[in-house]
Amino acid sequence: MSERLQPGDTAPDFTLPDADGNEVSLASHKGRKVIVYFYPAALTPGCTKQACDFTDNLELLADAGYDVIGVSPDKPEKLAKFREKENLKVTLVGDPDKSVLTAYGAFGEKKLYGKVVTGVIRSTVVVDEEGKVERALYNVKATGHVAKIIKDLGI
């Protein structure tokens, strides 16, 4: 089980392929705040709801100085299908080897329908302009999460 990040930690840098196979890195967002959210799988109901909520609020978040990156263990081809099917505007990147998910504490043991399983822990990490963790939220709910972030960030 990986360690969970705490406010003040340096956010682990990453470079992952997006839905088009282009590399997206956290370092390229320096000078902007970034909301990095981790979700279990593209094209599933909860993850679709969450991605649509981020897409619906992308302009509001961008105007407040935030970029949004969604990370899942999916391959770029599946992310492209997800983006097209749901008309998503949020940047989606794939982490098939789960190294970034692990580095962010978003992969490990969790409870699913009362059973302990190993998998993606739905999480959101807000990274400031200098690459430091501003907030780290784990075991978040797919529904209502984006509204809570907006409220918590005072947007």
Which residues have a catalytic role annotated? 47
Q: 69 near 126, Cβ under 8 Å?
A: no
Which 3 state secondary structure label does DSSP give 24? strand
* DSSP for 74-136, written as a single string: --HHHHHHHHHHHT--SEEEE-TT-HHHHHTT-EEEEEETTEEEEEE--EEEEE-TTSBEEEE
Q: Quote the CA–CA distance of 99 and 93 in Å, as a whole number.
A: 13
Over its C-alpha atoms, the chain yields an Rg (Å, rounded) of: 14
Contacts (Cβ under 8 Å, ≥6 apart) of 43: 78, 81, 82, 85
Q: 42 near 72, Cβ under 8 Å?
A: yes
